[in-house]
Structure 1
């Protein structure tokens, strides 16, 4: 099979085929007697209620025609796919910043992810996939703990991958992204690109684009990849000829490692260092101005009033002063490295990056006990 066709079949395994297989398996047991497993499945989030179909929207149909022409796809198939997508009224609301945001609290945020359920699940995941995690670390330079932390924070190792129909979420965000959002134009363009990539993958693989399920933003699988990330970074890491981020831990592990390798991960570099302050010399506003982008040398940080431990003072790369609010208590500060910044390319949040690293470290500690 030509490499290009094989790649399309691999993408089928991510976007549709793997999910369709899971759905077929579940359907085969629909009439079975109630069991604890079936009761647990019934308690999982159900698909959200959908609104009108996009077949009634001229802008959506015009986009379908343009997409088909640019990508060389069958116009009737694209129109049918986009036309069958339905508006999900709650999804645009989920994209808006809260009207009355609560004070950020790093300790509370950490507690949501570094907790017994995720640590136990992470311990099982690491033990069951130790050889693959070691291979990914060897080949990509990304520590096993970071990969375990990502998959644990994202989906509790595949337990919570999302109940939204991906076609509906991407269409909703492509054609009805909330205008009140401060970056509405950019985000609309982004989600139109993701919808285009998703349909292109489905068309090449010959699968039903309505089968895939994921998050309210259209991310799928254990690592919650968007369609463009699937196209760029996903790997067939178990060598079975298809990429399956939903059911193959190896593919999920290899794909996360691939993502970080492509986003500048520095093998052997810590994620962050603890810091203290010399209040007499501290220029906090200058230090926080670049946000989480590593900008300052260790020497420059010291000149601006940051007290670094010896290993941080000897660090050769740039650093960022990262501020983590703790509600009404004093903030926590760390010096973030280029690897800290790399984690924020997965999710643009310093709290997220800290939680990923902390969960991975907690699971690693549990393995030693």
Structure 2
């Protein structure tokens, strides 16, 4: 979801490595920049921005004149600052409403077409990385409706705005400023490798790019040339997108064959829900310790090997939905730090798979 940067895993902030020659990258498609991406105050006159440009040049062995010129063309976008503000305190979460945004007939049918068009590639990715097609299909569908909505913000503007003018009222302002400065640095390094004008790329308001909405550091570390054409293109190559998403999940510990979650109910007389929810989405409890705290599992779940987490999905004024999340559920949240997001990915992929089965595909 063009959204996501927001909910980006801290791990995405890892520095770009140049130990081996990078694969060639395709330049972003030539798309007319939307008006909002052209509005704002240029960073050309900001001393802090120019100092950062010099530091990037030194760290990445780039021409200082090039980095200065790149950041000079970036503009501060007030709309990006507004979009990055956290939701007001007390805003109720509602899984049913969240789900309806991503699991709908249009997205499901688009997912069916994507799966049908790329069936062999999805199967190859599963064989190589162990990630099932429905998870990859779910990710790309939730993120951009299979490339239909990849964002109309200039990535340079979005990242510069969040690197130099992240809203100070945000409770994690310092941490996020550091994160986005790193992403801006990785973006500039990537654009130099591609040999393209860094002002061309379009993406989300948080700087995520392409069909899978990879942040620059994710592109640098996990994007792969899965179609074998000698370049990485996450805007226009479904094969590169599929391989890159699967590679990302493998890197974060996806376990082939493991379910993402199990149904769970409660023994109310023994239930210690506070203890079960304390680790949040991090799988912490063995099956015996999970059961000892009043959770009830059935079928294959009682033989699950590995830790579990109690996942709570609030439904506004209605009772919450609960599931027992596995390590694979947690891996999906490394893409976007949200249990709601992970469940939407899982359910969209499942709905697409079932729609294909109903159609006899």
For normalisation by structure 2, the TM-score amounts to: 0.92
Aligned match for 2:29, one of 15, 19, 25 = 19
> Structure 1's 310 and 170: CA in aligned 2 closer, same or farther, altered over 3 A?
same
Aligned match for 2:165, one of 160, 176, 180 = 176
Equivalent-residue separation in structure 2 for 1:19 and 1:106 (angstroms)? 35
- In the alignment, structure 1 residue 218 sits paired with structure 2 residue 168: no
Deviation at 1:5, TM superposition (A): 4.9
What's 2:181 paired with? 192
Larger Rg: 1
Equivalent-residue separation in structure 1 for 2:258 and 2:213 (angstroms)? 25
Equivalent-residue separation in structure 1 for 2:90 and 2:275 (angstroms)? 26
Deviation at 1:102, TM superposition (A): 3.1
- In the alignment, structure 1 residue 298 sits paired with structure 2 residue 287: yes
What's 2:126 paired with? 137
How many pairs were matched up? 341
- In the alignment, structure 1 residue 316 sits paired with structure 2 residue 326: no
Equivalent-residue separation in structure 1 for 2:88 and 2:102 (angstroms)? 25
Written as runs of structure 1 = structure 2, the 5 A alignment for 1:126-275 is 126-275=115-264
Extract structure 1 runs of 4+ deviating beyond 3 A: 3-6, 45-49
Deviation at 1:100, TM superposition (A): 5.3
Deviation at 1:48, TM superposition (A): 3.7
Aligned match for 1:91, one of 77, 80, 84 = 80
Deviation at 1:345, TM superposition (A): 0.3
Equivalent-residue separation in structure 2 for 1:331 and 1:255 (angstroms)? 34
- Contact kept, 8 Å, 1:167 with 1:209, in 2: the verdict is yes
Deviation at 1:101, TM superposition (A): 5.0
Partner SS state of residue 178, structure 1: coil
- Alignment gaps of 5+ in structure 1: 28-44
What's 2:268 paired with? 279
- Contact kept, 8 Å, 2:135 with 2:346, in 1: the verdict is yes
Deviation at 1:72, TM superposition (A): 1.5
Aligned match for 1:60, one of 27, 45, 49 = 49
Partner SS state of residue 19, structure 1: coil
Equivalent-residue separation in structure 2 for 1:124 and 1:294 (angstroms)? 34
Partner SS state of residue 18, structure 1: coil
> Structure 1's 66 and 6: CA in aligned 2 closer, same or farther, altered over 3 A?
closer
Question: Superposition RMSD on alpha carbons, in Å?
Answer: 1.6
Partner SS state of residue 75, structure 2: coil
Structure ranking higher in helix proportion: 1
- Contact kept, 8 Å, 1:106 with 1:326, in 2: the verdict is yes
Partner SS state of residue 29, structure 2: helix
Partner SS state of residue 301, structure 1: helix
Deviation at 1:309, TM superposition (A): 1.0
Partner SS state of residue 306, structure 2: coil
- Contact kept, 8 Å, 1:149 with 1:357, in 2: the verdict is yes
Partner SS state of residue 291, structure 1: coil
Q: Deviations over 1:163-212 (max 9, x none)?
A: 00000001000000011111111110110000001111112332110010
- In the alignment, structure 1 residue 350 sits paired with structure 2 residue 339: yes
- Contact kept, 8 Å, 2:36 with 2:153, in 1: the verdict is yes
Q: Deviations over 1:57-112 (max 9, x none)?
A: 11001111111122221111111100110001111111111225531111111111
